[in-house]
Amino acid sequence: MVDVGHKTAQLRIAVAEGFIRCLAKTVTALRAKSLPKGDVFTVAKIAAIQAAKRTDELIPLSHSLPLDAVEVTFSLKKDAVHIVTEVHTTAKTGVEMEALTAVSVAALTIYDMCKAVDKTMVIEGIRLVSKEKL
């Protein structure tokens, strides 16, 4: 791990995003909350938050961080779900990996919950949108 002992704790924020491309009928089912496994977005939001909190267990050499907030939003597009996560901490290092992990796990959860009705889904475009320290 990188030694961050000399740094001062600051508010740090990271935003990440990703997409799941899918059939229009899948978007319709998501909007209607009519998928067989239940409320996809509530489950995916909880999964994203859990993933952000456990990033240090998943990514070797990442620091354990106390998270102040994890926000997860989903936007339905014509043929996709857009996922955005924003993670806040007051710490000596940033939360980029937590935001990216949260997006990734949210996307995997949506994929799992929709795979019975859509075999064409593709997870793509997972990236860090911004990071800042205040």
- Kindly report the length of the chain: 134
112 is catalytic: yes
Among residues 56, 68, 79, 112, the one annotated as catalytic is 112
- HEC secondary structure over the chain: CCCCCCCCCEEEEEEEEEEEECCHHHHHHHHHCCCCCCCHHHHHHHHHHHHHHCHHHHCCCCCCCCEEEEEEEEEECCCEEEEEEEEEEEECCCCHHHHHHHHHHHHHHHHHHHCCCCCCCEEEEEEEEEEEEC
List, by residue number, the catalytic residues.
Answer: 112
